[in-house]
């Protein structure tokens, strides 16, 4: 990764932090994103000390739950990064109780899917001019929870909200987005793949995001979960390995290609989700893949 520039969203903690550390140690210039300045600065300092002279680490602060903030963050990345070799959409959350973003969208869907969707589309031309480049989207086997696919008639979960189901739908959206992005891009220029990192000891469900049985389950299960470093392995593999240099539109777990559930292989749903998402985030003509 010597000489490569990598952006890792949510790189201030958990899997994102471990991913940034690994790629920085391999020689990359890593730019992590965070929504909190203080936490981001603390993570950047810790990473810089850990990476040493091997690579470098920088910070961009913006909120994936605020579309205007995403646009500002993308503009900052484009200004600071003349080349962009890898974009890792890692940040995400799960909520027990329905909440809305400043744009009026259901928060889990907005932060886990719409924010990364917009960011990727705003950066895709820079990825193309830096070819060969890669997009890596952190999804999850939680997409199994979305047994009926994407609820296009209730994308904002207004009529019915269940935290784990909505989270699963957002992870399904990650895979469908990846598949459609891969279809739109020349794999010789930019590849796009998604992954399941495993169940990992991170800030997942912390900061009061989860309550009740879901919060209890996460707390009890923490000692059994994998380390962030182990959870980052597939992200690092997809970002750096020559074995997947021309592989695109696939889903991985434990650094191996896997077949996701049927609903994650629905081409029509992927195309429809792209169109709906582009409208929701306000992609203008000429923007995006």
Contact 167, 145 (CB under 8 A): yes
Judge contact between 209 and 94, C-beta under 8 A.
yes
Residue that is written with structure tokens 């240099």 in the block: 245
Do residues 149 and 165 make contact, with C-beta atoms less than 8 angstroms apart? Answer: no
Active-site residue 237, yes or no?
no
Residue 162 phi/psi, 5° resolution? -140, 120
- Out of 105, 161, 167, 251, which one is annotated catalytic? 167
Tokens 């269940």 sit on residue = 162
> Rounded CA gap, 212 and 137, in Å?
29
Name the DSSP class of 264. G
Question: Which residues, other chains included, contact 92 with Cβ-Cβ below 8 Å and sequence gap of 6+?
Answer: 10, 111, 112, 138, 170
Cα–Cα distance for residue pair 137/150, rounded to 1 Å: 18
What 3-state DSSP class applies to 232? coil
Residues with catalytic annotation?
Answer: 167
């Amino acid at each position: 990764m010597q000489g490569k520039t990598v952006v890792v969203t949510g790189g201030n903690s958990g899997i994102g932090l471990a991913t940034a550390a690994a790629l920085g140690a391999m020689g990359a210039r890593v730019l992590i994103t965070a929504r909190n300045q203080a936490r981001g600065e603390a993570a950047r300092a810790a990473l810089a000390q850990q990476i040493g002279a091997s690579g470098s680490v920088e910070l961009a602060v913006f909120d994936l739950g605020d579309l205007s903030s995403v646009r500002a963050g993308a503009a900052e990345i484009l200004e600071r990064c003349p080349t962009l070799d890898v974009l890792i959409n890692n940040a995400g959350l799960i909520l027990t109780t329905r909440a809305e973003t400043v744009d009026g969208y259901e928060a889990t869907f907005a932060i886990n899917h719409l924010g990364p969707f917009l960011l990727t589309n705003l950066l895709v031309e820079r990825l193309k001019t830096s070819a060969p480049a890669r997009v890596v989207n952190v999804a999850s086997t939680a997409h199994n929870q979305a047994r009926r696919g994407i609820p296009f008639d209730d994308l904002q979960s207004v009529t019915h909200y269940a935290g784990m189901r909505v989270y699963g739908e957002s992870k399904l959206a990650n895979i469908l987005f990846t598949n459609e992005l891969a279809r739109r891009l020349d794999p010789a220029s930019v590849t796009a793949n998604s992954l399941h990192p495993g169940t990992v000891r991170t800030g997942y469900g912390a900061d009061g995001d989860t309550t009740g049985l879901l919060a209890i389950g996460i707390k009890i299960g923490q000692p059994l979960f994998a380390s962030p470093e182990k959870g980052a392995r597939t992200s690092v593999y997809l970002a750096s390995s020559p074995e997947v240099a021309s592989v695109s539109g696939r889903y991985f777990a434990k650094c191996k290609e896997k077949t996701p559930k049927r609903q994650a292989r629905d081409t029509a749903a992927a195309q429809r989700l792209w169109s709906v998402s582009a409208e929701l985030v306000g992609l203008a003509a000429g923007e995006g893949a």
